[in-house]
Chain A
Amino acid sequence: MAKSDLDRGSRAFTRKLKRYSIFSIARHAGNYHQEWQQAWSHAEPKTAYDAVIIGGGGHGLATAYYLANIYGMTNIALIEKGWLGGGNTGRNTTIIRSNYMWDESAAIYEHALKLWEGLSQDLNFNVMFSQRGVLTISHSEHELREMSRRVHAIRLNGIDSDMLSPAAIKKLVPMINIEPNIRYPVLGGFLQKRAGTARHDAVAWGYARAADELGVDIIQNCEVVGLRRNKDKIIGIETTKGNIKTPKVGCVVAGHSSVLADMANIKLPIASRPLQAIVSEPIKPILDTVIMSNAVHMYISQSDKGEMVLGAGVDKYNSYAQTGSWPIPEHMVAAAVDLFPFLSQLRMLRQWGGIVDICPDASPIISKTDIRGLYFNCGWGTGGFKATPGSGHIFADLIANDRPNSIALPYSLKRFETGFLIDEHGAAGVAH
């Protein structure tokens, strides 16, 4: 018999799931894939839980999974107003890297990258993590010097980063033009080989399936409309499916953080802005690394389906409409064509936007609040997908123990009072 029924070891699973493996795929091929088990169950809310996580994006789902898996908190619920991964998790361009300059950032993003490296095995779900490398190129002498200063800082934190000459870049990316007399000459660049991409939906689904198996109630199509408090203590939440009592609430709602904060009369330094992306029609494989340019302000990669995936900077005014304003795609395409003229011959297939939560220092907030039992994980802005496993892991630790660990500590909301900001604007690559 195939090993698909293998028991998953010592963890106390409350719902027994069949393991995904090459054998299970072969076995299900025999009956035309008609009999796959449901990946996670659709729960309805109970009246009380030990903790509630609001937001069913990657960060929220990861938080719920680690709370159950590491801290044994299985009487918890995850509440999502739409469908799992329907926010920024399912809208992002999936770039994963840890080459940030400041120590605080290096610690959190590298923690996440290490978790990415074993994530498919841990979740028994193929998140298609592909360490294809992220290459940041520079177009001026000044940028190149600043880049090498940054690379040294990154290496001092034990994170892989290599400066590349134009010739080495040409070898890595044969389609790039390294002639010195073009509009944006490529003078050099730096590469993180362990960086890459992952399948965004699979990350949400993998965490959901694993959390559900551990007994977490995953409740979709349920919007949180109020936070209940008793003086300075959280006592429950109000949702479109009724009220729920709970002593601990973790808010992980990205672009909607300020809306949740308003429900509790808490102030956040966040602005909600659309961030857009575009994909082209699919073409044959030409690019197997991710390329970023700070000066031209764009980044590009090729998806497994062959589409060229393009992204750029955020919209310039606050918005909760998940579409984005028109001048931005125009800039995005112009920048891409500046860098890769052949792109002008491609047709663009889709454009979309997600509402990102921008912090003044472009670093996240993973923090307790003045209200006991109320925690926020937000401010990831344009670059939080890469942090998903690390963010969930650290946030679960904060919620379970009610005190920040050493990685979370600098990300407290209090830093805006003390002035210890973690200024990551453009400190590594473009803003992603």
Chain B
Amino acid sequence: MLKIKCPYCGYRNESEFSCGGEAHIARPAVSNKITDSAFCEYLFMRENPKGVFLERWCHTSGCRRWFNIARDTVSHEIYEIYLMGNTPKTVKGKKAYQANWRRTSKAEAASKTPKRTKK
């Protein structure tokens, strides 16, 4: 049983939480402008590492708030817990964030809000 430290409630058993899968997947802001294959990467393709994984968790049976965890998928060791909207701070967490193919994907590029142009 994992003991997970909810940033809002403290340590609780894993059965109080649900896992939301890969973290930091940004929705393309201009989804009608990108190709099907780029959209497919956003919608379906998933990082599934044997090692450090950045994932979203929700304290479903507690405060019901979401946060991120950097966890090893072999040992299940939790390296870091950080708030939504942040990126990891530990060396392992940072490395996993940078190494993810998504950082250079078209879908992620399309998630940055386009500059408004005057008509």
Residues on A facing B (Cβ under 8 Å): 256, 258-259, 262, 265, 267-272, 316-321, 325-327, 360, 416-418
Does B73 sit within 8 A of A, measured CB to CB? yes
Do A318 and B74 form a contact, CB below 8 Å, given A268-B46, A325-B1, A416-B40? no
Of the candidates A269, A317, A320, A416, which one forms a contact with B74 in the assembled complex, judged by CB atoms under 8 Å apart? A320
Q: Lowest 4 A-B CB distances belong to which pairs?
A: A258-B48, A317-B19, A269-B44, A267-B45
CB <8 Å contact, B73 and A270 = no
Does B53 sit within 8 A of A, measured CB to CB? yes
CB <8 Å contact, A327 and B50 = no
A320–B19 alpha-carbon span in the complex (Å): 16
Does B2 sit within 8 A of A, measured CB to CB? yes
CB <8 Å contact, B36 and A418 = yes
Which of B41, B43, B46, B101 has the largest number of chain A CB atoms within 10 A? B46
Residues on B facing A (Cβ under 8 Å): 1-2, 14-15, 18-19, 21, 36-37, 40-41, 43-50, 53, 55, 71, 73-76, 101
Give every chain A residue within 8 A of B2 (Cβ-Cβ): 325
Give every chain B residue within 8 A of A262 (Cβ-Cβ): 49
Give every chain A residue within 8 A of B48 (Cβ-Cβ): 258, 268, 270-272, 318
Of the candidates B14, B45, B49, which one forms a contact with A269 in the assembled complex, judged by CB atoms under 8 Å apart? B45
Give every chain B residue within 8 A of A417 (Cβ-Cβ): 36-37, 40
Separation in Å of the B70 CB from the closest CB of chain A? 13
CB <8 Å contact, B44 and A317 = no
Give every chain B residue within 8 A of A320 (Cβ-Cβ): 50, 73-74
**Cβ contacts A to B, 23 pairs, < 8 Å:** A258-B46, A258-B48, A258-B49, A258-B50, A259-B50, A267-B41, A268-B45, A268-B46, A268-B48, A269-B46, A270-B48, A271-B21, A271-B46, A316-B19, A317-B71, A319-B76, A320-B50, A320-B74, A325-B1, A327-B14, A416-B40, A417-B37, A418-B36
CB <8 Å contact, A318 and B1 = no
Which of A256, A265, A269 has the largest number of chain B CB atoms within 10 A? A269
Separation in Å of the A423 CB from the closest CB of chain B? 13
CB <8 Å contact, B15 and A327 = yes
CB <8 Å contact, B50 and A256 = yes
Known contacts A258-B46, A268-B46; 18 additional CB pairs below 8 A are A259-B49, A259-B50, A262-B49, A267-B41, A267-B45, A269-B46, A271-B21, A272-B48, A316-B19, A318-B21, A318-B48, A318-B73, A319-B74, A319-B76, A320-B73, A321-B74, A325-B1, A417-B40
Separation in Å of the B73 CB from the closest CB of chain A? 5
CB <8 Å contact, B75 and A416 = no
CB <8 Å contact, B73 and A325 = no
Separation in Å of the A170 CB from the closest CB of chain B? 36
A262–B51 alpha-carbon span in the complex (Å): 13
Q: Which B residue's beta carbon lies closest to that of A330?
A: B15
A320–B74 alpha-carbon span in the complex (Å): 5
CB <8 Å contact, B74 and A270 = no
CB <8 Å contact, B74 and A360 = no
A256–B51 alpha-carbon span in the complex (Å): 12
Give every chain A residue within 8 A of B71 (Cβ-Cβ): 317
Separation in Å of the A167 CB from the closest CB of chain B? 39
CB <8 Å contact, B45 and A416 = yes
A317–B44 alpha-carbon span in the complex (Å): 17
Separation in Å of the B33 CB from the closest CB of chain A? 16
CB <8 Å contact, B73 and A319 = yes
Q: Which A residue's beta carbon lies closest to that of B75?
A: A321
Q: Which A residue's beta carbon lies closest to that of B53?
A: A318
Separation in Å of the B58 CB from the closest CB of chain A? 11
A267–B37 alpha-carbon span in the complex (Å): 11
Do A321 and B76 form a contact, CB below 8 Å, given A316-B18, A417-B37? yes
A418–B45 alpha-carbon span in the complex (Å): 14
Give every chain B residue within 8 A of A269 (Cβ-Cβ): 44-46
Separation in Å of the B86 CB from the closest CB of chain A? 20
Q: Which B residue's beta carbon lies closest to that of A270?
A: B48
A99–B37 alpha-carbon span in the complex (Å): 33
Separation in Å of the B51 CB from the closest CB of chain A? 8
Separation in Å of the A240 CB from the closest CB of chain B? 16
CB <8 Å contact, A327 and B1 = yes
Which of B14, B48, B75 has the largest number of chain A CB atoms within 10 A? B48
